[in-house]
Amino acid sequence: MENKGMGNIDISDNAIREIALRSIFAALEVTDEKKQKKIRKSLQIDRSPEDNVTIGVEISVPFGKSLVETAQKIMERVKMDIERMTDLQVAAVNVKIEDVEEGEQEKTEEKE
Q: Please indicate, yes or no, if residue 5 is contained in any of the structural domains.
A: no
pLDDT at 3 > cutoff 90 = no
pLDDT band at 40 (very low <50, low <70, confident <90, very high): very high
Residue 57 contacts by C-beta under 8 Å, 6 or more apart in sequence? 20, 24, 39, 42, 43, 44, 74, 93, 94, 95, 96
Q: Please indicate, yes or no, if residue 77 is contained in any of the structural domains.
A: yes
Q: Based on the structure, what is the number of domains in the chain?
A: 1
Q: Please indicate, yes or no, if residue 48 is contained in any of the structural domains.
A: yes
Query: Using one digit for the tens of pLDDT, what is the confidence trace for 42-54?
Result: 999 999 999 899 9
CATH number of the domain encompassing residue 62: 3.30.70
pLDDT at 110 > cutoff 60 = no
Q: Please indicate, yes or no, if residue 1 is contained in any of the structural domains.
A: no
Mean pLDDT of the chain: 90
pLDDT at 109: 53
pTM: 0.84
Q: Please indicate, yes or no, if residue 68 is contained in any of the structural domains.
A: yes
Instruction: Determine if residue 61 is left, alpha or beta; phi over 0 gives left, psi from -120 to 50 gives alpha, anything else beta.
Output: beta
pLDDT at 8: 87
Query: Using one digit for the tens of pLDDT, what is the confidence trace for 53-96?
Result: 999 999 999 999 999 999 999 999 999 999 999 999 999 999 99
Can you give the residue range of the structural domain that contains 72?
A: 13-111
Average pLDDT over residues 15-31: 96
